[in-house]
Structure 1
Amino acid sequence: MDRNVVIATILTALIMFVWLWWLAPPPPPPTTAALDTLQEEAGPQEVLAGEDASPATQEPLLAGPLHDTLFAAAQNGQARIITIETNLYEAQLSTKGATLTSLRLKKYRQYDFETPVQLIDTTKPGALSLVFTTPANHLVDTRALYFQTNVAADTLRVTESPVEVAFEVPVGAGRIRQVYTFAPDDYEVKLRVEQVGAATFSTIEGYELVWNGGVPFAERDRDDEARHSGAFARSGGELEKITLDRHRTEEKRLAGQVDWVAVKNKFFTAVIIPSGETRGAELVGERLGDPEEPFYWEDYAARLLMPRPEDGQVDEFRLYLGPMEYFRLARYDLGLYDMVDYGWDAFEWMTRPLAKFVFIPLFTLLGRLLGNYGLAIILFALLVKIALYPLTRASFRNMARMRELQPELEAIREKYADNPQKQQEAMMKLYREKKINPLGGCLPMLLQWPVLIALWQYFQQSLIVRQQAFLWAQDLSAPDPILHLPFKIPLYGDFVAGFTLLMGLSMIIQMRIQSASAPSNPQTKILTYIFPIFIFAIFNRLSSALNLYYLCYNIFSAIQQFFINRALEKEKARAAVDGQGDRRAAQKVTRKATKKQGHKKKVRSRR
């Protein structure tokens, strides 16, 4: 039990340290003087996309002498909105920029359970744009150009077959053409980009296909969602990303072939997948304020760098605009699901395969069979306990034999109190003689830790349990408050989560059952109450699915311990009775032998 106390204490300290590091406040924003210095170092830049406003609200504007030549036909016009309605989403396209200005998912709601999830930052003039530099060194953003379209209706319903929406704009002697293809039952949107006479309006460097703005937040806990948001790319078989959990600004540039670029929040993503060669990619992120502040803002941009196309060449892209659903993303076979963070690198080799090949298929199956993911979590906890039962039973037997050795171990400690090496050698010799493994009680704990760590990460960002209700919990992917506090406690929050409270109580009961058959140990008694308090404080803001699993796991463990303890007590009592019977039989044999020997002596004396 002393060894278990040490292990549990070390684990508690480790969890607290990692948790405090994870939630540490980010460095303060740069001062005005520092920003002025950076701007002076950057120097002036001539840009055709206006930058006189913050990135969240900037409106691309054309300025410069090229207006009367290349862009004369595209400078003026009236923006027209075309609505595309499919079975999965409702999208809006604007003729100004030939860009997506809105995409609302029909099957997913924000934290209020009413507002559809929006994948596009509507504070911007559009999500997609082509950006290129003219031979005169002006930067052009197509969101500032007015396109013509082949669609006469303002609303298109895509219910049976794919529908194309084409946009075209003249640029000098050339033109730019963009064609979107929408499918009725797919989150993928195809995009074709054709540039006729590109050499006349762009440099040899080519152009950028940019997703402007990250995916807007959709969950109540903005702090948690910010930690799972970012911009991503895959290059050379490796995932590259930037997140703003510890920095105000971040940028990353990649060269060469890029498989895809993307932005995502906790549960939803927008991905651009090129079909041809690329020059590289850029990921840019910037944030203002902190998640608890009302003006908090977070912005990302994912830029796919493309070579300048030849006349007649068409660049094709696939856009995935939808949920982080594993089976949908796995169809691309491009590692898109790697954007989901499964914890620290030291554990990801273990947690990611468990999530992809065990948790996701199993919970999907159990949820469909039982019709409720809360029941699926309970059944999964039971299956884990059943699978570990042989090891758990062996562990308790080993611990029971260790308890019987306590007097002999204590005698060894007293005998070699001044010689730790001799003390250790004597203890190991005693273990070998009794055929006891002093670490045998830790084996079930070591085997279940990978599952516990993987579940910790999985339930925090599992789309499967998002907004799935169970008992009083409305959303198993979020905490389940049963009491709101009038104040906020650091690291704990301003509410009491129901499953977390029950989990702490179940842990106290389990530890009391475990220590009931153990020798009295003041450290163990203290740990019985302190450890659950630590866990209760840490887990209060985590998902209710995770706390429900731990609650059920503790309950099943307590039941298992109770019956194993009873079985061990019965075996011990049976052994005592058998031992007493053996002693009586031995005494009877001894008496018979003594009586027989006395009879022989009498016979010899008579002779």
Structure 2
Amino acid sequence: MEEKKFDLNSIIGFVLIFGILIWIMYQNKPDAKVVAAEKAQKELLIKQAKAKELTDKVVAKATAAVATTGDSTQLAQLQKTLGNFAYSATLPSAKEGFTTIENELVKLKIANKGGFIVEATLKTFEKFKKGSGQLVQLIKDNNANLNVQLLTGDNRTLNTRDLYFEPTLTKVGADQILSMKLKAGANEFLEYKYILKPNEYMVGFDVRSQGLNKVLNTAKPLDLEWDLKSYRNEKSVSYENRYAQIEYEYEDEKFSSVSLGKDKQDTPENVKFVAFKQHFFTTILLTEKPFEKTTLSSNDLVLDEKTDTIFTKQFKANLPLAFTNGEVDYKMSWYFGPSDYKTLKAYDKNLDKIIPLGWGIFGWINKFIFIPLFGFLSSYITYGIAIIVFTILIKIAMSPITFKSFLSQAKMKVLRPEITELGEKYKKDAMKKQQETMKLYNKAGVNPMAGCIPALIQLPFMYASFQFFPSAFELRQKSFLWADDLSSFDSVVKLPFHIPLYGDHISLFPILAAIAIFFYMKMTSGDQQMAAPQQEGMPDMAKMMKIMIYVSPLMMLFFFNSYGAGLSLYNFISNLITIGIMIVIKRYFIDSDKIHAQIQENKLKEPKKQGKFQQKLQEVMQQAEAQKAQQKKK
């Protein structure tokens, strides 16, 4: 057999042939522009075919109606109306595409299909934490939709989200104006007009129609449907979700919100604006002409904070666009920006009401004391130090009230032995014991309510702080000590497991605040027990105070672990200052011996005239005692 040999010439030949084939294939590769053009042409033909199919079906139906009724008006109208809308996708200027408008603060990307914003980016804010490199985007990846339902003459419904608008971008000075027209003819269209000014979060948004009274059924308003799934933008999804809800103004500056939870709904009338509010950012639709009757829906998407970490709420609004003289004409605006009190208030449209500062006196304290004072301090010093100075100033301002409260407790403590003696003397007659106790208070010049009133005065300030700090946008992503964001929790340890109601991390400021509360309650519990004698039929106050000494710090630990560090810092400093003030007052201002001597001296004087409250209480007790005596006689 002949031995096979290595044929180098054959191999070289094969390599040359292979190279020539590759070169031929490369030379015959279609040009990218040609491919794109062919693709666009193919898509256009498909759209035209679909549009024609839709139109043919409608015309066929209308033709059948003509054969039955003999009235050709409907056929002509439908051919002009629905046919034109259906073919709007085939117009050269109304095709797949996007237009971008932006200023120093926002960047908006508007799609031809549907004519609505598909991306709304806030250019000066980052997600989660400073330095993340991810800008806050209120709209992206189809999380939002705007649709107007168009009812045709034969009661067919067309949705603008499925149709193509013709974009025209112009500039008037520094203003950018984007007109998006959905055409039904040369002079018949529905227009969305976006107007963006420099350095503004507010975007003008006009919706108007022209000539569509010949095309649409104008017997009822158009339905404007707006929905949005709000993205999570903060470190704690549960904390952010707590402050995400629909807020709205209606009926001459009334204000309300859709309840939190699953599948909540409101149907307000004459609505001026609707806000899809997140914790620190919001999207608002405002209108000059109120929406007559609306349907607002909210659904909680965070069922499990360990897994539901992308979205917080699903918001929906159905808003009627009423016809005037056969046409729609609404002057509206979009707001894409921070939920910041000062920014929103500057627009003078009541938008600041969406910030949860509290109702009544709590809101007044925040608006007229906390916000101006903290704004002034933070303009000169860092935010963490500003919180500390702010807390010191508030506690100093409240110190006279604190002094009166401690003084009242000291007086009650001095009277405790005599009150106990009265209790033993009249232990079988509770009514008589109360009367004699009131007489003792009157003779000694002691008001048992004096210790409660100062505490009640301080309560509104405490509650206002619980509203102020979570709403303070200026704290977002501002660091202090170990906390990298005073608007979120200050985690110092990441746990490998999740504790119900507590979380998967340990925050340090809540621990410090809990320790301060423990020592404060430990120091005051003894005085309160001594000042308040045990009453028959009442719970054992001593036992209750002992329980509260331990329960209150635990509540602080669990409740505030996922709250903003700024609020926990405020509570920590506040309790430290209160402890300091209490020590100073007890050591330098309250002398039990002097108080006792003063009380004894007061007893020798003419009893003070009773106040109206004490007189009324005395009369009630006397009447009760008389009724009791009468019943015994029977």
Q: CA deviation at 1:557?
A: 0.6
Question: What's the counterpart of residue 318 of structure 1?
Answer: 333
Any conservation in 1 of the 2:99–2:167 contact (CA below 8 Å)?
no
Question: What's the counterpart of residue 551 of structure 1?
Answer: 572
Question: What's the counterpart of residue 27 of structure 1?
Answer: none
Counterpart among 106, 109, 131 of residue 89 in structure 1:
106
Change (3 A) 1:518 1:463: closer
Does the alignment pair 1:433 with 2:406?
A: no
Q: Distance in 1 between matches of 2:371 and 2:279?
A: 17
Any conservation in 2 of the 1:259–1:334 contact (CA below 8 Å)?
no
Q: Distance in 1 between matches of 2:148 and 2:527?
A: 71
Any conservation in 2 of the 1:94–1:100 contact (CA below 8 Å)?
yes
Q: Distance in 2 between matches of 1:515 and 1:231?
A: 43
Number of aligned residue pairs: 502
Any conservation in 2 of the 1:231–1:285 contact (CA below 8 Å)?
yes
Q: How does 1:131-170 map to 2 (within 5 A)?
A: 131-151=149-169, 161-170=174-183
> 1:129-172: per-residue Cα shift (whole Å, max 9, x none)?
333322222322222112222249xxx9x9x8211112223125
Q: Distance in 1 between matches of 2:165 and 2:484?
A: 45
Query: Counterpart of 1:165 in structure 2: which amino acid?
Result: L
Runs of 5+ unmatched residues, structure 1 = 1-61, 580-607
Query: Counterpart of 2:135 in structure 1: which amino acid?
Result: P
Q: Distance in 1 between matches of 2:168 and 2:547?
A: 75
Question: What's the counterpart of residue 101 of structure 1?
Answer: 118
Q: CA deviation at 1:295?
A: 5.2
Q: CA deviation at 1:292?
A: 2.0
Change (3 A) 1:129 1:574: closer
SS at structure 1 position matched to 2:477: coil
Any conservation in 2 of the 1:193–1:316 contact (CA below 8 Å)?
yes
Q: Distance in 2 between matches of 1:276 and 1:137?
A: 26
Change (3 A) 1:193 1:437: same
Change (3 A) 1:162 1:127: farther
Q: Distance in 2 between matches of 1:269 and 1:224?
A: 16
Question: What's the counterpart of residue 621 of structure 2?
Answer: none
Query: Counterpart of 1:285 in structure 2: which amino acid?
Result: S
Does the alignment pair 1:366 with 2:387?
A: no
Change (3 A) 1:573 1:307: closer
Q: Distance in 1 between matches of 2:543 and 2:328?
A: 78
SS at structure 2 position matched to 1:478: coil
Change (3 A) 1:196 1:336: same
Runs of 5+ unmatched residues, structure 2 = 1-52, 59-80, 531-541, 601-634
Counterpart among 201, 207, 210 of residue 215 in structure 2:
201
Question: What's the counterpart of residue 273 of structure 2?
Answer: 260
Query: Counterpart of 1:187 in structure 2: which amino acid?
Result: Y
Question: What's the counterpart of residue 71 of structure 2?
Answer: none
Any conservation in 1 of the 2:280–2:338 contact (CA below 8 Å)?
yes
Q: CA deviation at 1:104?
A: 1.0
Query: Counterpart of 2:237 in structure 1: which amino acid?
Result: R
Any conservation in 2 of the 1:215–1:268 contact (CA below 8 Å)?
no
SS at structure 2 position matched to 1:276: strand
Any conservation in 1 of the 2:120–2:140 contact (CA below 8 Å)?
no
Q: CA deviation at 1:519?
A: 7.0
Question: What's the counterpart of residue 562 of structure 1?
Answer: 583
Q: Distance in 1 between matches of 2:250 and 2:525?
A: 53
Q: CA deviation at 1:265?
A: 1.3
Q: CA deviation at 1:238?
A: 2.2
Q: How does 1:262-281 map to 2 (within 5 A)?
A: 262-276=275-289, 278-281=291-294
SS at structure 1 position matched to 2:580: helix
Counterpart among 303, 318, 336 of residue 318 in structure 2:
303
Question: What's the counterpart of residue 242 of structure 1?
Answer: 258
Question: What's the counterpart of residue 52 of structure 1?
Answer: none
Identical aligned residues as a percent: 28
> 1:147-202: per-residue Cα shift (whole Å, max 9, x none)?
222249xxx9x9x8211112223125621222211111111111222311111332
| TM-score, normalization by structure 2 | 0.73
Question: What's the counterpart of residue 3 of structure 2?
Answer: none
Q: CA deviation at 1:380?
A: 1.9
Does the alignment pair 1:450 with 2:444?
A: no
| TM-score, normalization by structure 1 | 0.76
Q: How does 1:400-411 map to 2 (within 5 A)?
A: 400-411=410-421
Q: Distance in 2 between matches of 1:70 and 1:410?
A: 94
Query: Counterpart of 1:102 in structure 2: which amino acid?
Result: E
Question: What's the counterpart of residue 343 of structure 2?
Answer: 328
Any conservation in 2 of the 1:259–1:274 contact (CA below 8 Å)?
yes
Counterpart among 189, 192, 208 of residue 206 in structure 2:
192
Change (3 A) 1:101 1:561: same
> 1:475-533: per-residue Cα shift (whole Å, max 9, x none)?
22222112222322222222221111001111122233335767776664554333322
Query: Counterpart of 2:267 in structure 1: which amino acid?
Result: R
Question: What's the counterpart of residue 45 of structure 1?
Answer: none
Does the alignment pair 1:129 with 2:152?
A: no
Q: Distance in 2 between matches of 1:333 and 1:468?
A: 28
Change (3 A) 1:90 1:335: same
Question: What's the counterpart of residue 189 of structure 2?
Answer: 175
SS at structure 2 position matched to 1:491: coil
Q: Distance in 2 between matches of 1:365 and 1:128?
A: 41
Query: Counterpart of 1:105 in structure 2: which amino acid?
Result: L
Change (3 A) 1:573 1:436: closer
> 1:436-484: per-residue Cα shift (whole Å, max 9, x none)?
1122222322111111112112222321222222111122222211222
RMSD: 3.0
Change (3 A) 1:573 1:317: closer
Any conservation in 2 of the 1:121–1:213 contact (CA below 8 Å)?
no
Any conservation in 2 of the 1:215–1:270 contact (CA below 8 Å)?
no
Query: Counterpart of 2:587 in structure 1: which amino acid?
Result: R
Greater Cα radius of gyration, structure 1 or 2: 2
Change (3 A) 1:240 1:526: closer
Query: Counterpart of 1:241 in structure 2: which amino acid?
Result: S
Q: Distance in 2 between matches of 1:142 and 1:210?
A: 10
Question: What's the counterpart of residue 72 of structure 1?
Answer: 86
Q: Distance in 1 between matches of 2:584 and 2:386?
A: 25
Query: Counterpart of 2:257 in structure 1: which amino acid?
Result: K
